[in-house]
C-alpha cells in the first residue's frame, strides 16, 4: 500500500458544559495536544460555521466517558494511537458510523470494520541508525533487531508503551506468538541500556554514542529536525523504513471516533468527514509531521523528503486484537528490566 502525505474557532481548554451543547458546536475529547489540533479545527469552523470545544488529557478519557455515561458532553474523541482508540471500542463508548465520505477517503485497513473509529493520519514505527557507525542498508527489517551482532547497540522506550505494544502486536500477527516472543527476547538481549524515556530520547542516545540503533515514530524525527535545540541530534541518524521490501513498515494512526452519547451527532459526523478530506489532511498531517490516510493527498515538506512509505496493509484492528498478548509477553521476557 502506498500512503501519501497530506493539517477552531475558539479553542476551549476548560471543562465542557455538563448539558448538551447548543446547535452549531461540536465537543471534542482529545489525547492530542490542543495546539496540534488548532489549525485544522480553525479551518473546519471557517468552512462550516461549527464551533469546536476541546478538552485535552494525557490519559483517562475512556474512564471519563464511561463515568459520564449518557450525560457526557463529548461528541468526538481524538486519539494518538490504535491502542487508545481500540480501548474505547472495547468499552462500548463509540458509535458505529456508516458514511460514504469516510469509506471513500479512508482505506479499509485504517478504519474499524463497523465504523467505530477512523484513522486520520499515519506514522511509521521506524528504525534509526547512526550515520557515523552504520552504513546504509546494514539494517532493513524489524526481525534483524534480534540478531546477536547488534548486542549492546539498540535503544528503545518501554516495551509497555502503546507504540511498542502495537509493534509487538504486529509481530505476533505476522509470525505467531512463539516466534514473536523469541524475537522480543533477542531484541532485549541486544539493548544498550534499560528501556527508558521517549522516542526522541532514543535518537539523542544515538547522537551521544550510547547506542547505534533506535526504534521511534517517524513524526518525532520530523519534530526534532524542526527544533533548533534538537536538530543536531537528529542529523546524526538516518531514518530507515523497516521491511520496505517485503510486508511493509508497521504503521500506527492518530484516530477519531464518534461517541455513543454524542449530543451533537450530526456536527460530530461533519467533523469526521472534514478530517478525511484533502484540505484538512494537508493541514493536519503537515502540522503533526505525519502521513495522511487519504491516498489522494501527496506527502509534502520534510516527510516527502524521506521517500515513499510502503506500509504494512494488515488491518490495524487485527493488530490491536493482539495487544493483551503483547503486554503479557513484555512481562514474560522481563523486557523493561
At 191-228, the pLDDT tens digits run 999 999 999 999 999 999 999 999 999 999 999 999 99
Element (H, E) at 331: helix 323-332
Res 16 pLDDT > 80: no
**The predicted structure's pLDDT at residue 212:** 98
Angle between helices 199-207 and 218-225 (to 10 degrees): 60
Q: Compute the half-sphere exposure of residue 26: CA atoms within 13 Å on the CB side of its CA.
A: 28
Q: Which of 248, 256, 4 is nearest to 111 (CA)?
A: 256
- The number of helix segments (H) and strand segments (E) in the chain equals 14, 11
Q: Which residues contact 331 (CB under 8 A, 6 or more apart)?
A: none
Would you put residue 76 in left (φ > 0), alpha (ψ -120 to 50) or beta? Answer: beta
Range of lowest pLDDT (230-244, 264-278, 296-310) = 296-310
Structural domain boundaries of the chain?
Answer: 2-122+252-299, 123-249+319-332
At the topology level, CATH places domain 2-122+252-299 in D-Maltodextrin-Binding Protein; domain 2 (3.40.190)
Distance from C-alpha of 226 to C-alpha of 246, rounded to nearest angstrom: 31
At the topology level, CATH places domain 123-249+319-332 in D-Maltodextrin-Binding Protein; domain 2 (3.40.190)
Tens of pLDDT along 227-238? 999 999 999 999
Q: Which residues contact 323 (CB under 8 A, 6 or more apart)?
A: 83, 86, 165, 166, 169
Same topology, domains 2-122+252-299 and 123-249+319-332? Answer is yes
**The predicted structure's pLDDT at residue 8:** 35
Do 78 and 258 meet the contact criterion of CB atoms below 8 Å apart?
Answer: no
Res 7 pLDDT > 80: no
Q: Which residues contact 263 (CB under 8 A, 6 or more apart)?
A: 20, 21, 27, 73, 75
Tens of pLDDT along 38-49? 999 999 999 999
Res 14 pLDDT > 60: no
For residue 103, give the C-alpha cell.
Answer: 469509506
Amino acid at each position: 500500500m502506498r500512503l501519501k502525505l497530506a493539517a477552531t474557532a475558539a479553542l476551549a481548554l476548560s471543562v465542557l458544559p455538563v448539558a448538551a451543547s447548543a446547535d452549531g458546536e461540536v465537543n471534542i475529547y482529545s489525547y492530542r495536544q490542543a495546539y496540534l489540533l488548532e489549525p485544522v479545527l480553525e479551518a473546519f469552523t471557517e468552512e462550516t460555521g461549527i464551533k469546536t470545544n476541546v478538552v485535552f488529557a494525557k490519559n483517562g478519557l475512556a474512564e471519563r466517558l464511561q463515568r459520564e455515561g449518557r450525560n457526557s458532553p463529548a461528541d468526538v474523541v481524538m486519539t494518538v494511537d490504535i491502542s487508545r482508540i481500540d480501548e474505547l471500542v472495547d468499552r462500548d463508548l463509540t458509535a458505529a458510523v456508516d458514511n460514504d465520505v469516510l469509506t471513500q477517503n479512508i482505506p479499509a485497513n485504517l478504519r474499524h470494520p463497523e465504523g467505530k473509529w477512523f484513522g486520520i493520519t499515519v506514522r511509521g514505527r521506524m528504525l534509526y541508525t547512526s550515520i557515523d557507525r552504520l552504513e546504509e542498508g546494514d539494517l532493513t527489517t524489524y526481525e534483524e533487531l534480534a540478531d546477536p551482532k547488534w548486542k549492546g547497540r539498540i535503544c528503545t522506550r518501554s516495551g509497555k508503551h502503546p507504540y511498542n505494544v502495537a509493534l509487538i502486536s504486529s509481530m505476533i500477527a505476522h509470525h505467531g506468538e512463539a516466534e514473536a516472543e523469541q524475537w522480543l527476547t533477542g531484541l532485549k538481549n541486544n539493548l544498550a541500556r534499560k528501556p527508558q524515556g521517549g522516542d526522541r530520547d532514543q535518537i539523542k542516545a544515538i547522537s551521544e554514542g550510547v547506542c547505534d540503533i533506535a526504534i521511534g515514530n517517524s513524526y518525532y524525527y520530523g519534530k526534532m529536525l524542526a527544533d533548533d535545540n534538537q536538530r543536531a541530534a537528529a542529523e546524526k541518524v538516518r531514518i530507515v523504513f523497516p521491511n520496505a521490501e517485503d510486508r511493509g513498515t508497521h504503521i500506527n494512526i492518530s484516530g477519531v471516533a464518534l461517541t455513543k452519547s454524542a449530543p451533537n451527532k450530526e456536527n460530530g459526523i461533519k467533523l469526521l468527514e472534514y478530517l478525511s478530506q484533502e484540505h484538512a489532511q494537508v493541514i493536519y498531517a503537515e502540522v503533526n509531521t505525519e502521513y495522511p490516510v487519504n491516498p489522494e493527498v501527496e506527502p509534502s515538506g520534510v516527510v516527502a523528503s524521506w521517500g515513499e512509505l510502503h506500509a504494512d496493509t494488515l488491518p490495524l484492528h487485527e493488530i490491536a486484537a493482539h495487544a493483551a498478548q503483547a503486554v503479557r509477553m513484555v512481562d514474560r521476557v522481563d523486557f523493561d528490566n
